């Protein structure tokens, strides 16, 4: 590990000061007392009070505050992301117990989270609208990240069995702001972000502009993965503070990475090799380009009626060549590692995904006195298209398990196997009503109807066999399917006192066979082993409590829940190569979260999740009682920030993740539990500059956190990052 901080920091400071930039301590944390001699005095501002927590969701479909919403929710603020030095959406999601991160797959790269034991890679949203592209998301333009736990098809439609992730972008404000952050790190990281906002007097005093910019390159410490990202996100707001507001936004994010497909499994355990072993080729690549243009209009007709509309067009392009390390066939037990070879399973191909979607809803506050309604109703329409090409490597040289040759050039051929094209149209109508009976009782009733229409076509080409594909299948395939599904939510909320809500909620969700569009599994596109199956159906019941302590500065929530997938897709014993809806999976658990201020100097974010998941019923009794993959029984996270003086604060973090399985139903592959520790120190050099040092994985723990049934990715080693934070 190498790091040179002082010369770089000095150069950055000289450059900024020489340019006439006045640097400022982040004012959202605490203002120095007027008496400059008393630097130990802490003055907590209203903004500082909510540094790590927010009271309201950004989702316009939710009419109530987070405390009064009958569902578990975790919100990660931009201040917390900055304090922890987080540089990707995956980094952010690690702070939510109950979420695990899956490894990349042949046709899926980017973010692959699992929430409460169920895959949520199709449950990514940006400002409430689907963000289904396969690209590694960066939080440079995010105000918050909202994680909604539990089935949420009433809000989002298909998917969301374990939960959904809503990224909330930074919006223009009427105040002037300029934030500049520069980071350098021990993993050869150089990262710069800028957040610039200005009121636009030419368009009136209710207009503003905001621009966020990202430039990032770096590596994963002790791994061969490399990352290079660029992002730009301009936005314009008209009518701020008036009855009619219009926001126009655009996000462009590109990446040029060397992907990391980690280590191979040896039997049911990760191969016993050093963390730094890399089995791919130096010129492997993952290139993505996401363009997302959005427009929203919000109009208040009266104090009781508001209408909102959003429209978005997104284009996601990707080109990839990855190398997955496999030990196949599995050698006899006792074979010395130096005699074991690794098969390099190479996958390549470009893809282009497009999305056009619109949503319109109305919020009506009806009634008065002891009986009131907060009704949100609306409709959605979207058109999605995915056009990937899948190619496999032929004639690819293998390598040694113990001493892989990373300099060996790629000399194999890339044979196209599938050229697919999938189009899906969704039409949905929904209504969610919160009936308020006095100050103590709320009853929520909601229903949604979705029509999911999918057309799929693919050309197949025969080629050399691979370990998972015979290579002989060719010809054209075409499928079409329409699913019409209703989703429901019912809940009761009791408020014994103003700051406390106790709720009991039941909800449903569904997973159609084509929800991942042209997603490849075992040589097939679109999961064609699921063709013509009805959607999987899921039910959830949750009992929870949300309250506040320490004069409502500290938010506490806890819940017990059960999620049941009633008709899970499992292999059809009567029809090899295809599935049937003969399975049942059940997840039971407990979640606890604490967020906010313990004292004027002490901020805390902590959470714990207990998951008990199992296969209740499988095809012909197969895998009954098996644990659900990617669902550790225990996981916990804590981050504590203490303000020593108005100039200096530090943070300490810890994370524990229990033993988890990668694919228990087939081969019992699992990884052991692990604990990691992080630290942060920040010092205000003056009224105009703050310096910050983050250390991630302080103990240099060697652990695995991204699991796949065929490969497993170790986490990065100890990483040190130094930052200059400026605000002027």
Contact 208/172 with Cβ under 8 angstroms? Answer: yes
Mean local confidence (pLDDT), 410-414: 88
Query: Considering the chain, what is the average pLDDT of its residues?
Result: 88
- Coil, helix or strand for 417? strand
Lowest-pLDDT range of 61-65, 100-104, 280-284, 653-657 = 100-104
- Give residue 687's pLDDT band: very low, low, confident or very high (50, 70, 90): confident
- Coil, helix or strand for 114? strand
Closest CA to 723 of 16, 78, 22, 85: 85
Domain ranges of the chain: 6-727
Mean local confidence (pLDDT), 563-571: 87
The percentage of residues in the chain with a pLDDT greater than 70, rounded to a whole number, is 89
Contact 604/593 with Cβ under 8 angstroms? Answer: no
- Give residue 367's pLDDT band: very low, low, confident or very high (50, 70, 90): confident
Planar angle of CA 128, 131, 134, nearest 5 degrees:
160
Angstrom distance (rounded) from CA 647 to CA 644:
8
The percentage of residues in the chain with a pLDDT greater than 90, rounded to a whole number, is 65
- Does residue 14 carry a pLDDT above 60? no
Mean local confidence (pLDDT), 23-51: 52
292: preceding bond cis by omega (within 30 degrees) = no
> What are the C-alpha distances in Å from 197 to residues 19, 173, 420?
19, 7, 43
Please give the model's pTM, rounded to 2 decimal places.
Answer: 0.91
pLDDT in tens, 104-155: 776 678 888 999 999 898 899 999 999 988 899 999 999 999 999 988 899 9
For residue 466, the 8-state DSSP code is B
Mean local confidence (pLDDT), 251-271: 94
Lowest-pLDDT range of 203-217, 521-535, 633-647 = 521-535
For residue 594, report the phi and psi dihedrals to the nearest 5 degrees: -135, 130
- Give residue 528's pLDDT band: very low, low, confident or very high (50, 70, 90): low
> What are the C-alpha distances in Å from 46 to residues 4, 501, 600?
38, 24, 12
pLDDT for res 343: 94
User: 666 or 16, which is more confident?
Assistant: 666
Contact 216/191 with Cβ under 8 angstroms? Answer: yes
Helices (H) and strands (E) in the chain, counts: 5, 39
Contact 201/173 with Cβ under 8 angstroms? Answer: no
Closest CA to 707 of 265, 330, 345: 265
- Does residue 32 carry a pLDDT above 80? no
Q: 712 - beta bridge partners?
A: 263, 707
pLDDT in tens, 433-490: 999 999 999 999 999 999 999 988 888 888 777 776 666 678 888 888 899 999 999 9
Q: 295 - beta bridge partners?
A: 248, 311
Structure tokens at 272: 């016993």
- Which residue has 């405390």 as its token pair? 67
Which of 341-345, 389-393, 665-669 tops mean pLDDT? 341-345
Angstrom distance (rounded) from CA 458 to CA 387:
9
Closest CA to 24 of 727, 635, 629: 727
Contact 505/541 with Cβ under 8 angstroms? Answer: yes
For residue 70, report the phi and psi dihedrals to the nearest 5 degrees: -80, 65
The Cβ of residue 46 has, within 10 Å, a number of other Cβ atoms equal to 6
- Coil, helix or strand for 621? helix
Helix H or strand E segment including 105: none
- Concatenated DSSP letters of 61-127: T--S-TTTSSS-EEEEEHHHHHHTT--SHHHHHTTSTTEEEEPP-SS--S--EEETTEE-TT-EEET
Angstrom distance (rounded) from CA 695 to CA 280:
28
Structure tokens at 220: 């994963």
pLDDT for res 243: 96
pLDDT for res 468: 67
Contact 415/426 with Cβ under 8 angstroms? Answer: no
pLDDT for res 109: 80
| Neighbouring residues of 243: CB distance < 8 A, sequence distance ≥ 6 | 299, 300, 301
User: 636 or 573, which is more confident?
Assistant: 636
Angstrom distance (rounded) from CA 627 to CA 275:
27
Query: Which architecture, in CATH terms, is 6-727?
Result: Beta Barrel (2.40)
Closest CA to 162 of 84, 81, 110, 102: 102
Structure tokens at 585: 């999976």
Closest CA to 585 of 118, 89, 60, 2: 118
pLDDT for res 458: 84
Angstrom distance (rounded) from CA 477 to CA 460:
8
pLDDT for res 668: 80
pLDDT for res 456: 86
Angstrom distance (rounded) from CA 120 to CA 123:
5
Strand ranges for 170-304 from DSSP E: 177-185, 190-199, 208-219, 226-238, 244-257, 263-266, 269-270, 285-300
Lowest-pLDDT range of 358-362, 622-626, 711-715 = 622-626
Lateral strand order in the sheet of 113-115: 118-119, 113-115, 99-102, 704-707, 711-714, 263-266, 269-270
What is the Cβ-side half-sphere exposure of residue 196, based on CA atoms within 13 angstroms?
Answer: 9
pLDDT for res 151: 87
Angstrom distance (rounded) from CA 409 to CA 397:
9
For residue 21, the 8-state DSSP code is P
Structure tokens at 484: 């019409």
- Does residue 354 carry a pLDDT above 80? yes
Contact 386/518 with Cβ under 8 angstroms? Answer: yes
pLDDT for res 572: 74
For residue 260, report the phi and psi dihedrals to the nearest 5 degrees: -115, 110
pLDDT in tens, 489-509: 999 999 999 899 999 999 999
> What are the C-alpha distances in Å from 138 to residues 109, 335, 541?
14, 43, 33
- Does residue 571 carry a pLDDT above 80? no
pLDDT in tens, 307-329: 999 999 999 999 999 999 999 88
The Cβ of residue 286 has, within 10 Å, a number of other Cβ atoms equal to 24
pLDDT in tens, 157-206: 998 889 999 999 999 999 999 999 999 999 889 999 999 999 998 888 89
Angstrom distance (rounded) from CA 323 to CA 644:
48
Structure tokens at 79: 């201040």
Strand ranges for 53-206 from DSSP E: 73-77, 99-102, 113-115, 118-119, 124-126, 129-130, 142-149, 163-169, 177-185, 190-199
- Which residue has 């191969």 as its token pair? 271
In total, the chain counts a number of residues equal to: 728
Angstrom distance (rounded) from CA 166 to CA 113:
13
167: preceding bond cis by omega (within 30 degrees) = no
pLDDT for res 526: 45
Closest CA to 435 of 427, 445, 426: 445
Burial of 200 from C-beta contacts in 10 A (0-12 / 13-18 / 19+): middle
């Amino acid at each position: 590990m190498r790091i040179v901080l002082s010369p770089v920091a000095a150069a950055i400071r000289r450059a900024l000061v020489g340019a006439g930039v006045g640097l400022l301590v982040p004012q959202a944390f605490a203002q120095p007392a007027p008496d400059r001699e008393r630097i130990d005095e802490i003055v907590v501002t209203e903004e500082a009070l909510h540094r790590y927590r927010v009271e309201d969701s950004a989702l316009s479909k939710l009419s109530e505050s987070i405390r009064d919403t009958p569902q578990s929710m975790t919100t990660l603020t931009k201040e917390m992301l900055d304090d922890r030095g987080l540089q990707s959406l995956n980094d952010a999601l690690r702070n939510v117990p109950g979420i695990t991160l899956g490894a990349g797959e042949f046709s899926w790269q980017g973010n692959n989270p699992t929430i409460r034991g169920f895959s949520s890679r199709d449950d990514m949203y940006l400002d409430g609208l689907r963000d289904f592209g396969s690209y590694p998301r960066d939080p440079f333009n995010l105000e918050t990240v909202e994680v909604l736990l539990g089935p949420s098809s009433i809000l989002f439609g298909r998917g969301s069995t374990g939960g959904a992730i809503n990224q909330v972008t930074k919006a223009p404000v009427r105040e002037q702001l300029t934030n500049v952050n520069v980071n350098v790190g021990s993993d050869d990281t150089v990262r710069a972000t800028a957040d610039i906002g200005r009121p636009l007097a030419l368009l009136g005093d209710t207009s503003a502009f905001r621009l966020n910019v990202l430039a990032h390159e770096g590596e994963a410490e002790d791994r061969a993965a490399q990352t290079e990202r660029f992002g730009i996100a301009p936005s314009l707001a008209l009518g701020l503070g008036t009855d009619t507001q219009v926001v126009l936004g655009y996000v462009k994010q590109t990446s040029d990475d060397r992907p990391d497909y980690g280590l191979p499994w040896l039997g049911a355990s990760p191969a016993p090799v050093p963390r730094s072993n890399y089995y791919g080729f130096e010129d492997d690549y993952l290139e993505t380009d996401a363009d997302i243009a959005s427009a929203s209009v919000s109009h208040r007709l009266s104090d009781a009626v508001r209408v909102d509309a959003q429209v978005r067009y997104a284009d996601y392009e990707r080109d990839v060549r990855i190398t997955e390390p496999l030990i196949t066939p599995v050698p006899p037990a006792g074979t010395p590692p130096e005699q074991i070879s690794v098969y390099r399973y190479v996958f390549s191909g470009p893809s282009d995904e497009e999305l056009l979607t619109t949503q319109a809803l109305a919020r009506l506050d009806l009634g008065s006195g002891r009986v009131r309604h907060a009704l949100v109703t609306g409709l959605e329409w979207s058109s999605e298209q995915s056009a990937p090409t899948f190619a496999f490597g032929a004639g690819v040289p293998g390598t040694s398990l113990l001493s892989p040759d990373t300099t060996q050039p790629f000399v194999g051929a890339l044979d196209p196997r599938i050229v697919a094209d999938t189009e899906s149209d969704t039409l949905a109508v929904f209504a969610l009503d919160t009936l308020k009976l006095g100050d103590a009782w709320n009853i929520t009733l909601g229903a949604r109807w979705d029509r999911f229409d999918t057309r799929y076509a693919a050309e197949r080409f025969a080629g050399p066999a691979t370990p998972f594909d015979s290579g002989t299948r060719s010809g054209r395939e075409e499928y079409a399917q329409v699913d019409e599904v209703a989703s429901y939510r019912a809940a009761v909320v009791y408020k014994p006192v103003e700051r406390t809500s106790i709720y009991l909620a039941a909800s449903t969700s569904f997973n159609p066979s084509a929800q991942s569009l042209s997603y490849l599994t075992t040589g097939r596109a679109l999961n064609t082993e699921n063709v013509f199956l009805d959607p999987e159906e899921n039910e959830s019941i949750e009992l929870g409590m949300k309250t506040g302590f320490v004069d409502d500065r500290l938010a506490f929530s806890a819940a017990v829940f059960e999620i049941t997938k009633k008709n899970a897709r499992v292999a059809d014993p009567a029809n090899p190569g295809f599935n049937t809806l003969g399975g049942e999976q059940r997840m039971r658990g407990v979640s606890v979260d604490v967020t906010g201020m313990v004292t004027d100097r002490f901020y805390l974010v902590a959470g714990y999740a207990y998951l008990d998941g199992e296969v209740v019923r499988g095809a012909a009794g197969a895998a009954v009682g098996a644990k659900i993959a990617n669902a550790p029984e225990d996981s916990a996270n804590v981050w504590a920030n203490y303000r020593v003086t108005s100039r200096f604060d530090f943070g300490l973090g810890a994370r524990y993740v229990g033993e988890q399985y990668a694919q228990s139903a087939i081969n019992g592959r699992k990884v052991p539990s692990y604990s990691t520790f992080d630290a942060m120190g920040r010092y205000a050099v003056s009224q105009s500059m703050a310096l910050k040092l983050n250390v991630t994985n302080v103990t240099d723990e060697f652990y695995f956190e991204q699991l796949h049934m065929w490969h497993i990715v170790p986490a990065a080693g100890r990483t040190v990052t130094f930052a200059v934070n400026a605000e002027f």
